[in-house]
Structure 1
Amino acid sequence: MPPCPPVNERFGRTSRRMLVAWSCCILAAALPPAAGQCEIMKLVPADGGPNFCFGLSVAVDGYDVAVGSPRTSQRGMAYIFEREGGAWNQAARFMGDGLYGLNDQFGQSVAISGNAMLVGAWSENTGGAVYAFRRHNALWAREARFSAAETASGDRFGYSVALRGDVAVVGAPFRNAAYVFRWDGQAWSEQARLVATGGLNTDDFGQAVALDGETIVVGAPQHDAAGFNVGSAFVFERQRNGSWQQVAMLTPAPAWPSSRFGAAVALHAGAVAVGAPVGGSVFPAGATFVYERSGRGGWTQVAALSDPNAPGSSQIGASVALDGGILLVGASQYREGAGPATGAAYVFERRPGGWQGLARLTAHDGEDGDWFGAAVGLHGRLGLVGAWRDNPNGSRSGSAYLFAAGPDADGNGLMDACGCLGDLSGDWVVDSEDLALLIAAFGLGLEGGPDLNADGVVDQHDLGIMLMRLGSVCP
């Protein structure tokens, strides 16, 4: 079986590099590691195995979690986890047709919205495809398989997907296009083809896509408008006649060559986040840029976020997720010391004075080479971080981690969700469900989760804390 994709494959075509120096930049304040209880649960598939790459893509909506595993059974799989009775359980798994040979990369991208889910398979039939699944009466079933009308060999249709309600956006970065589809209750039909004004066929336009309401953002991490391979992100808005029109091209300030700005994009409530993970002299660890709407078609850069204490080449901005005033940013190459990349994820909050860093998240069992943060998802106060090179079921079998993530309303420097000691189920209330989870883990040697006093074992001391906290409601 071929190994999971290397980092330059994850980022598209081979990058071309130059060096440039900048004298000014905007940095986030040094970020503290999040408290251990921020981690809710580690997810692994029931059938995990070596080189499955579980966690290469993730998405979350409400209490539904989708995780891609593009090398499972060589064709790929996607999984759904649902929260039931305070616990997270694997509810479904999906596989593509597999009619066109192996290595379809089914699960390279996932998106979930309500009762619908999309899974991209960018190598299927050489040009790529997207599968749609829908939940009826608590059961998930395949709904459709579709491609663009013009899909041809090598397009990588399905490399990225976004879904909101009945509208989907699919990226095809080697065609340098993104496509809008709509579900009419019977079928998914192609509505529009999006291309960048003045774009080239080497821009990787479509490597990342995001959708919110009447707005779409498409990343083009090798676009040269701001300099050699700096990258751009393009904003499209739906017009009154139903067409989609490009209204803005976003570039970073400061900019540096080969930053791959646009490798990851997120969009929500009038804000856009764009990752520039390949560091340079300005931001050695990489950065994420935030833009806010300033009138119809207008967007203004309001922040450039990084970590001044992160090692160089941490790839801050490898993945981004945005919901309300909370931003989750993956840094898959973050490392402690001189070892290979363990990975990290950063939580930022929008405040009246601007965007501020809240926490740096790491896995309780993180190891060198996990690439924790290669994919992130966020909805409400629930964060999801993929670590596709983790080894719970063999080399690069992969995992995903659920975290509590949210604002710091009381200003004590700790995310409010993390301050709710004892909330093991992630429903923001300390109740009988949490007590049952602690009892189930009683006597085990654990870090985080039910080990409420962080002494490495779940014992009577943790039970005492839980009993005192019963009935507490999180902020």
Structure 2
Amino acid sequence: MNRALLALVVLTATASGAVSQLAARPVGKLTSQDMTTGEGFGERSLDRSGDLLAVGTTESPSTITAGSAFVFRRSGTTWTLEDRMDGAPGTVFGRDVALDGDTLVVGAPTSTLLGHPATNGFARAYVRSGTTWTPQAVLTASDAAARDSFGGSVDVDGDRIVVGAVGGLVPGSSPPCRAGAVYVFERTGTQWSETAVFRGDASQCSTLGSDLGPQFGAEVALEGDRFVVGSPTFETGVPGQHRGAVHVYELESGAWVETTRLTSPLSFSSHVSGFGSKLALDGERLGVGNPIAATALGIVVGAVHLYEFDGTAWTREATLFASDPRSGNGFGSSLDLDGGLLAVGEPNDRFEGVPQIGRVTVYRLGPHGWLENLEFRIQGAATETDFGTTVQLHGSELLVGAGRDGPVPQAGAVYEFRLSVSPHAVFCSGNGTGCVACPCGNDTASFHSGGCRNDSDWSATLEASGNASLSDGRVGLSLRGATPEALALLLSAEVRLPSAGSCPPGSGVVLPAHNGLRCIGSDLRRHGTRSTDAQGRARMLTIGAGAPHGFVADQLRHFQAVYRTPGQQGCSGNLNTSNGVSITFRP
């Protein structure tokens, strides 16, 4: 889908290295009309085009695996259901949806149509007239075969639709090879016709020991005269290592040509890493989800890779991990790009002992590349929500699917957030982009905004949220990515260190017994110790109205957490630190 950027929140840095922090303000929540147990609204697919939003769900209130597609229209700040399309039993209608202007496409990958083999799948195109969505065409593969899963992935841009069939059978293959396929359809007037077919690499079927191939077509993304295809079990040259691939196609002289094939840069990734299982295409930039990528120790944590096209070739900009990666969290299970913003879903994240609460991380593009700027989840969630199963950026607005959200079990919901620049600023990151390096060669990755790398190979991040008004506000400081089950102390001061020298204030200084940087000093105050949980997280401080901690209006204070850490290879200290956060208290 081709989207216009409505608003770009620019990443700014001061001479002291402080970076403005984003805040996510919840503004709404959407659910289906029925809120049926197991419906999974927002779990599988959502897409937005201007003031229209489509949400797919593969379950329906009446029949399991029937599925539905919902279209909402926004007027002012309110989303209203405009239309609903329901699938027939067994179709998994709504497995994927794509929306562009007045054209909607809904995939039904396990459907059976009269005259076609069983469970071959289809995609249905709708057009909008007034407030009514009318079917315009049923799209099927010209060489449909059983178990094709045609319609498992779809995208639309103007008069062009791309459909993935991850189980697409290679014609004439013996034994049968399901390498996958992708079909291109074009609209002339009101008629849609198939104009191109591309297939996965048939030579890879036997390497998986079955008729399952590289899963070519598991994900598709279309924009203008370019589309990309995910092939998440593609074997990348090392026998048995199915790390995945992404294929880039361009329209050249009226014909589609595969111009690039990207593969996972993680040589230590697991047997199957899922590279290409999620895609986000935004102009000359491509994001690739790698949700089951593994570390060198074999821990499956997930990753996201960003590529940029310079007019000649695609170059990898960054490979991103969570600042506190955990096994099975699914980082990169969903992602979206819009201008200088990237949103990444991590639906299996555990929080305060509850599994699958989920979280979303927002990155911004700045002078030193992509930088983690915001991490958040549903506030107060006490049960599994799978927050982050789907994400959709639209300028400064962010939609997030939570496929297991209640109150009805696993009914699902879509949350809407407004992104804005917070009055709080982050500084003194241990990511090697500043003036002062971490004390023992333990710089964290350049895209992390937290402190120096610790014994868990994480970066402790101190974050501020809320309104710092002393009369009616409430601001909270929380820590994540610290050493698990360790003591952490919150400090505040009036000066960012160093206060003199060649490096600017806020760069940090090296102190004895510290494996991190000390970022603040002068009028140093202690705000109590907290014990981090098994995930290295702690709520450090909540400041409400009335200035109970001695803060006054118009006062600027700088905060940092110091925490205990056991022996770390190459480091001699037993203390590490977070980044710094600056807060100006208002009346």
TM-score normalised to the size of structure 2? 0.61
Q: How many residues align?
A: 382
Q: Identify the residue that residue 65 of structure 1 maps to in structure 2.
A: 53
Cα distance in 2, alignment partners of residues 215 and 198 from structure 1? 24
Alignment CA distance shift 1:372-1:142 (3 Å): same
Q: Identify the residue that residue 67 of structure 2 maps to in structure 1.
A: 76
Q: Given that residues 226 and 251 in structure 1 are in contact (C-alpha distance below 8 angstroms), is that contact kept between their aligned partners in structure 2?
A: no
Q: Given that residues 136 and 190 in structure 2 are in contact (C-alpha distance below 8 angstroms), is that contact kept between their aligned partners in structure 1?
A: no
Cα distance in 2, alignment partners of residues 405 and 370 from structure 1? 21
Cα distance in 1, alignment partners of residues 247 and 55 from structure 2? 27
Q: Identify the residue that residue 182 of structure 1 maps to in structure 2.
A: 186
Q: Which runs of 5+ in 1 are unaligned?
A: 1-30, 415-446, 456-460, 462-475
Q: Given that residues 210 and 266 in structure 1 are in contact (C-alpha distance below 8 angstroms), is that contact kept between their aligned partners in structure 2?
A: yes
2:217 is the counterpart of 1:224: no
Deviation at 1:338, TM superposition (A): 3.8
2:258 is the counterpart of 1:270: no
Query: Which structure 2 residues correspond to residues 353-372 of structure 1 after superposition, within 5 A?
Result: 353-372=368-387
Deviation at 1:63, TM superposition (A): 1.8
Cα distance in 1, alignment partners of residues 346 and 122 from structure 2? 28
Q: Given that residues 83 and 131 in structure 2 are in contact (C-alpha distance below 8 angstroms), is that contact kept between their aligned partners in structure 1?
A: no
2:123 is the counterpart of 1:130: yes
Alignment CA distance shift 1:366-1:132 (3 Å): farther
For residue 316 of structure 2, give the secondary structure of its aligned residue in structure 1.
strand
Alignment CA distance shift 1:213-1:83 (3 Å): same
Cα distance in 2, alignment partners of residues 220 and 50 from structure 1? 32
The superposition leaves residues 138-172 of structure 1 with CA deviations (integer Å, 9 ceiling, x where unpaired) of 33222222111112110111111111111111111
For residue 259 of structure 1, give the secondary structure of its aligned residue in structure 2.
strand
Q: Given that residues 59 and 378 in structure 1 are in contact (C-alpha distance below 8 angstroms), is that contact kept between their aligned partners in structure 2?
A: no
Cα distance in 2, alignment partners of residues 59 and 199 from structure 1? 34
2:112 is the counterpart of 1:113: no
Q: Identify the residue that residue 351 of structure 2 maps to in structure 1.
A: 336
Q: Given that residues 22 and 422 in structure 2 are in contact (C-alpha distance below 8 angstroms), is that contact kept between their aligned partners in structure 1?
A: no
Alignment partner of 1:239 out of 244, 247, 252: 252
Q: Identify the residue that residue 290 of structure 1 maps to in structure 2.
A: 306
Deviation at 1:369, TM superposition (A): 2.4
Cα distance in 1, alignment partners of residues 371 and 21 from structure 2? 15
Q: Given that residues 259 and 277 in structure 1 are in contact (C-alpha distance below 8 angstroms), is that contact kept between their aligned partners in structure 2?
A: yes
2:208 is the counterpart of 1:194: no
More RCO (CA 8 Å, sep 6+) = 1
Deviation at 1:326, TM superposition (A): 1.5
For residue 140 of structure 1, give the secondary structure of its aligned residue in structure 2.
strand
Structure 1: which amino acid aligns with 2:393?
Answer: L
Deviation at 1:218, TM superposition (A): 0.5
For residue 320 of structure 1, give the secondary structure of its aligned residue in structure 2.
strand
Cα distance in 2, alignment partners of residues 364 and 289 from structure 1? 28
Cα distance in 2, alignment partners of residues 326 and 149 from structure 1? 39
2:410 is the counterpart of 1:396: yes
The superposition leaves residues 155-199 of structure 1 with CA deviations (integer Å, 9 ceiling, x where unpaired) of 111111111111111111111111111121212211111234576
Deviation at 1:217, TM superposition (A): 0.8
Alignment partner of 2:394 out of 357, 370, 379: 379
Q: Given that residues 20 and 425 in structure 2 are in contact (C-alpha distance below 8 angstroms), is that contact kept between their aligned partners in structure 1?
A: no
2:224 is the counterpart of 1:213: yes
Q: Which runs of 5+ in 2 are unaligned?
A: 1-18, 113-118, 169-179, 206-212, 428-465, 476-544, 546-587
For residue 275 of structure 2, give the secondary structure of its aligned residue in structure 1.
coil
Structure 1: which amino acid aligns with 2:72?
Answer: F
Deviation at 1:454, TM superposition (A): 5.9
Give the RMSD, CA atoms, in angstroms.
2.6
Deviation at 1:363, TM superposition (A): 2.0
TM-score normalised to the size of structure 1? 0.75
Deviation at 1:354, TM superposition (A): 0.9
Q: Identify the residue that residue 468 of structure 1 maps to in structure 2.
A: none
Larger helix proportion of the pair: 1
The superposition leaves residues 25-48 of structure 1 with CA deviations (integer Å, 9 ceiling, x where unpaired) of xxxxxx99974x522211101122
Q: Identify the residue that residue 3 of structure 1 maps to in structure 2.
A: none
Larger Rg: 2
Q: Identify the residue that residue 567 of structure 2 maps to in structure 1.
A: none
Q: Identify the residue that residue 4 of structure 2 maps to in structure 1.
A: none
Larger strand proportion of the pair: 2
Structure 1: which amino acid aligns with 2:122?
Answer: A
Q: Given that residues 203 and 223 in structure 1 are in contact (C-alpha distance below 8 angstroms), is that contact kept between their aligned partners in structure 2?
A: yes
Structure 2: which amino acid aligns with 1:42?
Answer: K
Deviation at 1:381, TM superposition (A): 2.1
Deviation at 1:57, TM superposition (A): 1.0
Structure 2: which amino acid aligns with 1:134?
Answer: V
Alignment CA distance shift 1:312-1:211 (3 Å): same
